[in-house]
Chains A and B, each alone.
Chain A
């Protein structure tokens, strides 16, 4: 079993900010838009270095999405940024008509996704955005796991032509992805090989999956752990190759069970290779105020939950 180490914990939103800073220097067509959340999105460096390529939109997210769509006509690459809740559910119709249906090269980049937003509570803790965004034809949906991967994803989507929803978060999490690892949209990353159970994790839950892998190993269970940073297009080949070997799977995500990564994996398995599946996700519930750690514990988004589901799903194998 491969062991992953990290030198520091960092927030994924800072990875986005670092990616934007680099894009500001390397990609003259990249334009940043923000709806009154510049500091939260870590756009300070980009704005300082490229003041003419930053568009403050104020607290008017619907307009921001339309403006971004219009900017693409001039060959510009707009990165529209806000909190995940305000960049998905609040503007779903604008994204659907002006971005997805119109196939505009807009990058919707959102922070503070999920429960780990913490104390602000359920109004801001969007747990339905992956579901909404992946339902839109042509939309790419990415949920990277740490600082380095978020930075690499931010840079990668600038070179991809088409609408993208890039989701990241607020808390500091172990930064273990190699800084020089290129980001390949739609290409899952096999983190650990194992024969007993496949664990497919996305976003902040990837580190929890690695921790779960260690705990399972102590019980003699070999878990195969895959980082599904791109939920759409989903790396079906990687999922089927792994489950063909292990015969069962657990998904882990900081999102509703309805419409999330687990649903996507279930669809792939049901259509191609039916196998027992368990899901670690929020089960048809809104969040609440609390520290990120308390909330992840209360709603069962932990390494321990992944271990329990892994042991249960192995029992379901015939």
Chain B
């Protein structure tokens, strides 16, 4: 089942999120590879963005319409491209491409590449990401273009917290407030984990909020796994925009959120569940919109 354009009430988002989480674990299980941990952690914010917060281009019937330019609508960029399963599921459930295509994830000749790409022309994807640290710069360019074109819509960019170790992030972090791109909302998935272990052990980012503030951003914090708080914080971010400064949301999430044995560890960053683990995971996630 796909969902047509309807700005959902926050109370309705939970059932979409549950289905998206089912999609994620089934997708990575189906190809025995991919990144479930961060995908599950970011499910709530992606659902909130695409089903509530973002203004998306639609046709008369309310179905989303994709064009590469993205003019006249809000844009989302996934900088930490390895959590592609959550983006693909949300895009499919939102109606950008058939839900059945989720079964092709990471397989030969699929439009659903391991990391998001434009070469296969998957609706909803505007830039390749995967090599970390680049998405915020691309989002900055898109936001700058909207300013030049007098397009009042916003640009959202999701990044990982481990990704904050990339130097290019800080080039963009300086550029965006300097150029007053107050139509850009950056979200950092602050789950504290990366491939080699806890982020503060691998390479401590220290106080990310203070760093972004020092660079000239308006910084907000939220629990990224609390749909009510996500909704209210995104609304606050939208209201804080347009006043000269971009907004950065430090989003606390739990990697693997929704599947108990995938939580509180970095082990499921890039590991797919086996058959038994899939069954155990799906038992915790209600099928709300029917599986693909």
Per-residue CB contact flags for chain B residues 160-182 toward chain A (1 = under 8 Å, else 0) read 00000001100110110011000
- The reply to whether B140 and A67 contact each other, CB–CB distance below 8 Å, is yes
Report how many A-B pairs have Cβ atoms within 8 Å.
119
- The reply to whether A98 and B148 contact each other, CB–CB distance below 8 Å, is no
Confirm or deny: A66 has a beta carbon within 8 angstroms of a beta carbon on chain B.
yes
From A66, A93, A97, A103, give the contact of B141 (CB < 8 A). Answer: A66
The interface size of chain A toward B, counting residues with CB under 8 Å, comes to 32
Residue in B68, B129, B138 whose Cβ sees the most chain A Cβ within 10 Å: B138
From B75, B127, B175, give the contact of A98 (CB < 8 A). Answer: B127
From A55, A63, A75, A98, give the contact of B128 (CB < 8 A). Answer: A98
In the complex, the chain B residue whose C-beta lies closest to that of A138 is B119
Residue in B128, B130, B137, B179 whose Cβ sees the most chain A Cβ within 10 Å: B137
- The reply to whether B128 and A97 contact each other, CB–CB distance below 8 Å, is yes
Query: CA of A60 to CA of B136 in the docked complex: distance in angstroms?
Result: 13
- The reply to whether B128 and A101 contact each other, CB–CB distance below 8 Å, is yes
Confirm or deny: B52 has a beta carbon within 8 angstroms of a beta carbon on chain A.
no
Contacts A57-B175, A102-B127 given; indicate if A74 touches B140 (C-beta within 8 A).
no
Query: CA of A74 to CA of B140 in the docked complex: distance in angstroms?
Result: 12
Confirm or deny: B82 has a beta carbon within 8 angstroms of a beta carbon on chain A.
no
In the complex, the chain A residue whose C-beta lies closest to that of B115 is A97
- The reply to whether B168 and A62 contact each other, CB–CB distance below 8 Å, is yes
Give the residues in chain A near B146, CB-CB below 8 Å. 74
- The reply to whether A58 and B128 contact each other, CB–CB distance below 8 Å, is no
- The reply to whether B141 and A94 contact each other, CB–CB distance below 8 Å, is no
- The reply to whether B127 and A74 contact each other, CB–CB distance below 8 Å, is no
In the complex, the chain B residue whose C-beta lies closest to that of A76 is B145
In the complex, the chain B residue whose C-beta lies closest to that of A91 is B168
Give the residues in chain A near B178, CB-CB below 8 Å. 58
**Given A68-B141, A94-B137, A101-B128, 13 more pairs with CB closer than 8 A:** A55-B179, A58-B178, A63-B140, A67-B140, A71-B142, A73-B141, A74-B70, A74-B145, A74-B146, A76-B145, A78-B141, A97-B131, A101-B118
* A interface residues, Cβ below 8 angstroms from B: 31, 52-53, 55, 57-58, 60, 62-76, 78, 93-94, 96-98, 101-104
Sort A-B residue pairs by CB-CB distance and give the 4 closest, nearest first. Answer: A70-B141, A66-B137, A74-B145, A63-B171
